[in-house]
Amino acid sequence: MGALARLPVFLSLDGKRAVVAGGSPAAAWKAELLSASGARVEVYATDICDELQQLAADPPRGAIVINRCPWSADALKNAAVAIGAFEDDNRAAAFASAARAAGVPVNVIDKPAFCDFSFGAIVNRSPLVIGISTDGAAPVFAQAVRAKLEALLPKGFADWAAAAARWRGALKLAGLSFAARRRFWQLFTAHAVANPDREPAQADFDSFIAEVKGLGASVESGSVTLVGAGPGDPELLTLRAVRALQSADVILFDDLVSREVMDFARREARKMLVGKTGFGPSCTQEDINSLMVSLAKQGKRVIRLKGGDPLIFGRAAEEIAACEAASIAVDVVPGITSVQGAAARLGIALTDRKKARRLQYVTGHAKQGGLPADVDWKSLADPSTTTAVFMPTRTLAALAEKAIAEGLDRNTPAIAISRATRPDQAVVTAPIAELAEQLAQAALPGPVLVMIGKTISLTDRVASRRFSCV
């Protein structure tokens, strides 16, 4: 996990004392939050604003008691939290020092130097609560993020979260195994996301229990899901891919999977690199198959995470066959290919009514690492085809020479894209006859993809895009 500016913590304040020093509108807002959390709020101030008086008369949850006197050190004893509203730094420092001496976490509104904790922007679907913090750097930005989340999260999620709290005890009494209970919550979550505005009912609980019990031993046997991670940009993950990552017990991932994509994975999941680095040390496919099947037989939900789409040059057929031979349930979640991602980022149309009626994917090297012997060269030389070549770096010169000999116009536009869709994406553009030499000079980091075809005559437009252009 990367460094955190603040540790997000949700305090249980139900029935506990919270001290607020100050009677301003800002103090009123913090008193309202504390009351909504169930705290008994004690306000100390000589000057009380109208908002605070109205709030004390009708608190959202916990009582709000107004003491028309200054705060004192004795008032801080046995408090769960202390909030101060002071414009003067000296008064703020005195309050923070007294709170800390009493062992009470303290927050002084809009004065981070005197704060042990901060209040973030809140999305309230209680008991589902989301806190957003910018470490005090940009509160307005945090509010904008909150507004986005408010728009995304249906109000009905509050009802489903409340149902989860009610049903947790009953689920423990249902006699289900850990794996079966986990499956219950997966069904619950899928149903809540699909029906956010329908109030959950006891019939839903009974239905989920019946479905889990009906699955029988298959719940215990584990499963394998091949998931396409896309070309690198985490925003290109599909919703199914995100859900799979968040339900994983073990994730077997490739070198091509970006760290940003892995951030979507369940924190508790075991993550194992099984990358197959070209021309370097790596796991054999047989090792990967054996590990994948072994983990699934232990009852694990195994995610085999691959860059791009698992069904395109991802050895998916071998892994699916290994699972089927071991009677392991296997599923596939498709992903955005690097071709699609790169073309979208560059503004390239892969097909065109006037220039390209066909799109083909070709691998740049065979199992032994050389140029494949079974390439359909006439197809590759077709002037009305856009060709995407995967893993082409070492064989591109030979591939271009052979394709030109078979009739491909040596001036056909071509482009090499390194680390497609990522912040450090870089490109080299040249006629196909010159691309291999220019790519070698540029020494772009992998993975590299090459596209060839008439739709790729866009050097000027590529140069204007927001990434490195070699």
Structural domain boundaries of the chain? 17-119, 157-219, 223-336, 339-469
Inform me whether the pLDDT recorded for 466 exceeds 60.
no
Name the superfamily (CATH) of residues 17-119. NAD(P)-binding Rossmann-like Domain (3.40.50.720)
**Architecture of the 339-469 domain:** 2-Layer Sandwich (3.30)
Topology classification of domain 223-336: Cobalt-precorrin-4 Transmethylase; domain 1 (3.40.1010)
Q: Report the pLDDT averaged over residues 294-303.
A: 88
Per the model's pLDDT, the better-predicted residue between 282 and 50 turns out to be: 50
pLDDT tens digits along 28-38: 999 999 999 99
Q: How far apart are CA 303 and CA 291, in angstroms?
A: 12
pLDDT tens digits along 210-222: 888 887 666 666 7
The residues assigned a catalytic role are: 254, 276
Inform me whether the pLDDT recorded for 192 exceeds 90.
no
Give pLDDT, residue 216.
Answer: 66
Give pLDDT, residue 120.
Answer: 85
Query: Does the predicted model carry a pTM greater than 0.85?
Result: no
